[in-house]
Amino acid sequence: MREFVKFYQKKWDERLQLLRKNDCLKSMEEALLRKQAINFSLNDTIVENYITDYTLPEGLSFHYLIDNQKYIIPMVTEEPSVIAASSHGAALVEKAGGFTTELHERLLLGQVIIEKVQDAQKFCSYLETQFPRLLEIANQAHPSLLRRKGGARWLRCRILSAHIISLDLAVDVREAMGANMMNTMLEAVAQVLEQSIKGQVLLSVLSNYATECLVSAKCKLPFNILEKNNLSGKQVADKIALASRVAQLDPYRAATHNKGIMNGIDAVIIATGNDWRAIESGAHAFAARSGQYRGLSTWEIKDGYLVGKITIPAPVGVVGGSIGIVPLVAVNQKLAHIKSARELEKVIASVGLAQNLAALYALVTEGIQHGHMNLQLKSLVLAAGAHLEEVLPVVESLRKTGKRDAGSAKKALQDYRK
Ligand code: NDP
């Protein structure tokens, strides 16, 4: 791979020429990379070795009523059924008065891991006497946060093993997700720990297990809105509650239950320029907080209603990172009327619960494939090589055959072209 040495130093155009010259690309493929590079001057500054823009579809989800306020939710996803399911779940909840949410706190956690500690208990006790000084050092490292009424709030010491401790720092990061601000503060604290407290620092970085940044959403559905085909609303509610119980009992089911929740949350996280890996890792760590991986949401029958609840860590931002850089993020914030990180937290918790309701509703009534595959048919037909104008008629003839596989899609396309 010598020909690609210092690829990052080359101009965008030179990189594509180099790929072509080395037979990595045919001319059609090079042309596609060039055509798709719609924002090359900006994105070349965001990632290393940039070659093109990989775009994902964006759509809007409707019917969200959250704390008596209506929201239109921009969602970015490649999965065909996500947006329709989100709107369906939200519409059911809207009929029942909407979501209510609760913000618990909004602090980001970071860790300085200290190794080779002789007496962990003694070292922690000593560190505690240094907390006021260390908090001041953390704040000095990012003073603008204090001006915004944020900043370092507290420290705690946790003994991880006989010789390893974690010094945890909690910071109010205001409207940002805060990873970089936190890391700057932690490194300043780590430096002092090494220089004057003589601790041996292994590493310092934020924790994505954002237990101090939790948000909950709740909804309460009367049975009658859940009726489906030959099932009464009460029967559907009972089945949803039981499916939720299974997700508490069985990690195999819980992982899929939570994937459905994250289908919606990730789509909003991406549309709002946030870090979906951070939200994913935090959500799954939180799902395993009891020692067993469980569903993030619960549904139960209470006082004649189906009551759904979700709590997730939601360290999101409305400024910072790529949020101010990617032009579409500002448009999406405007579409959704989201003005603060707290508001975005409430929205993503509600979206997660709506998405989960739609998935469970489909699963316990007509099965997931009915709605899902109807939307997947379009993707199947496109993958079979259909041109855009051929998609709808071929989907229609495929639907009539009742078949849902790639071979049948190809055959339907061939028949259409005859
Ligand atoms: P930034 O580093 O961009 O910091 C936030 C910026 O927003 C600061 O420049 C701050 O200005 C500015 N700002 C303006 N108004 C406000 C306000 N009201 N409240 C807070 N800040 C404000 O972003 P983050 O620190 O949020 O870091 C997020 C990025 O870090 C993401 O891209 C993420 O992917 C990445 N990251 C994630 C990691 C992880 O999850 N493990 C690890 C490392 C990075 P000022 O400087 O004046 O305070």
Count Cα neighbours of 287 within 13 Å in the Cβ-side half-sphere: 28
* Nearest-atom index, ligand 1, CA of 183: 43
Amino acid identity, position 398 = L
pLDDT band at 314 (very low <50, low <70, confident <90, very high): very high
What's the ipTM? 0.96
Task: From 144, 181, 205, 338, give the residue whose CB has the most ligand 1 atoms within 8 Å, as the site to mutate.
Answer: 181
Identify the active-site residue in 88, 257, 346, 372.
Answer: 372
The H-assigned helical ranges of 52-150 are 82-95, 120-141, 143-147
- Indicate the pTM of the whole model: 0.92
For helices 388-401 and 368-383, what crossing angle results, to 10°? Answer: 140
131-140 per-position pLDDT tens digit: 999 999 999 9
> Does the pLDDT at position 376 exceed 90?
no
Find all residues with CB under 8 Å of 399, minimum gap 6, and list them.
374, 377
Using the mean position of ligand 1's atoms as its centre, give its distance from the Cα of residue 293 in Å.
30
* Nearest-atom index, ligand 1, CA of 145: 48
User: Known catalytic residue: 26?
Assistant: no
125-167 per-position pLDDT tens digit: 999 999 999 999 999 999 999 999 999 999 999 999 999 999 9
Average pLDDT of every residue of the chain? 95
The Cα–Cα gap between 274 and 266 comes to: 9
Rounding to the nearest 10 degrees, give the CA dihedral for residues 193, 195, 196, 198.
70
User: Known catalytic residue: 79?
Assistant: yes
Of all protein residues, the one whose alpha carbon is nearest to atom 18 of ligand 1 is 175
Which pLDDT does position 69 carry in this prediction?
97
* CB-based contact 270:56 (threshold 8 Å): yes
Which pLDDT does position 88 carry in this prediction?
96
Which pLDDT does position 49 carry in this prediction?
95
> Does the pLDDT at position 235 exceed 90?
yes
Average pLDDT of the segment spanning 102-118? 96
23-71 per-position pLDDT tens digit: 999 999 999 999 999 988 889 988 999 999 999 999 999 999 999 999 9
| N-terminal to C-terminal alpha carbon distance within the chain | 47
Write out residues with Cβ below 6 Å of ligand 1: 144-145, 148, 173-181, 206, 208, 275, 278, 317, 319-322
The Cα–Cα gap between 340 and 289 comes to: 28
Which pLDDT does position 377 carry in this prediction?
85
User: Known catalytic residue: 259?
Assistant: yes
User: Known catalytic residue: 23?
Assistant: no
Which pLDDT does position 57 carry in this prediction?
96
The Cα–Cα gap between 213 and 348 comes to: 13
Using the mean position of ligand 1's atoms as its centre, give its distance from the Cα of residue 317 in Å.
8
* CB-based contact 239:135 (threshold 8 Å): no
Amino acid identity, position 176 = A
Average pLDDT of the segment spanning 288-307? 98
Find all residues with CB under 8 Å of 139, minimum gap 6, and list them.
145, 146, 151, 152, 185
Pairing of strands 151-161, 164-172: antiparallel
